């Protein structure tokens, strides 16, 4: 069964810490995405990548960076965590032209910054 795996379901970090959220997909997809989900706001795109070592900013990239050294892995980095980054983070992947399959999502990482 194809899947997108996020390494942590729950994470608690302190303000100012550097935080790494990891995402791995086994579908050989080219495109990978990081979203954050907040009640009443839906999903907002942070960063996406359409190839290894390629990245593009989404709608809310401030305070985040990403890394894609290998096709299957897309990491989200919070350079200096702040309380307003407490959220659910969702990783997704897709293959260009596969609109009828949409995205495949991971189960999410709920991050709390204290």
Partner 1 sequence: GEDVEQSLFLSVREGDSSVINCTYTDSSSTYLYWYKQEPGAGLQLLTYIFSNMDMKQDQRLTVLLNKKDKHLSLRIADTQTGDSAIYFCAGSNDYKLSFGAGTTVTVRA
* Contact footprint for partner 1 (CB under 8 A): 4, 31, 33, 35, 40-45, 48, 50, 58-59, 90, 92, 94, 96, 99-108
Closest CB 80 distance from partner 1, rounded Å: 27
Pairing of strands 109-113, 10-13: parallel
**What is the smallest separation between the CB atom of 52 and partner 1, expressed in angstroms?**
16
* Minimum separation from the CB atom of position 96 to partner 1 (A): 5
Which has the closest alpha carbon to 3: 21, 22, 20, 28?
A: 28
> Smaller CB distance to partner 1: residue 69 or 100?
100
Identify the CA nearest to 91 among candidates 40, 51, 28, 32: 32
């Amino acid at each position: 069964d194809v899947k997108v795996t996020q390494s942590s379901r729950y994470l608690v970090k302190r303000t100012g810490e550097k935080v790494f959220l990891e995402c791995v997909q086994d579908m050989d997809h080219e495109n990978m995405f990081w979203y954050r989900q907040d009640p009443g706001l839906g999903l907002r795109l942070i960063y996406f990548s359409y190839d290894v070592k390629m990245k593009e900013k989404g709608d809310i990239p401030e305070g985040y960076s990403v890394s894609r050294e290998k096709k299957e892995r897309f990491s989200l980095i919070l350079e200096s965590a702040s309380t307003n980054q407490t959220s659910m983070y969702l990783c997704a992947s897709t293959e260009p032209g596969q609109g009828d399959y949409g995205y495949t999502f991971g189960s999410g990482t709920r991050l709390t910054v204290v």
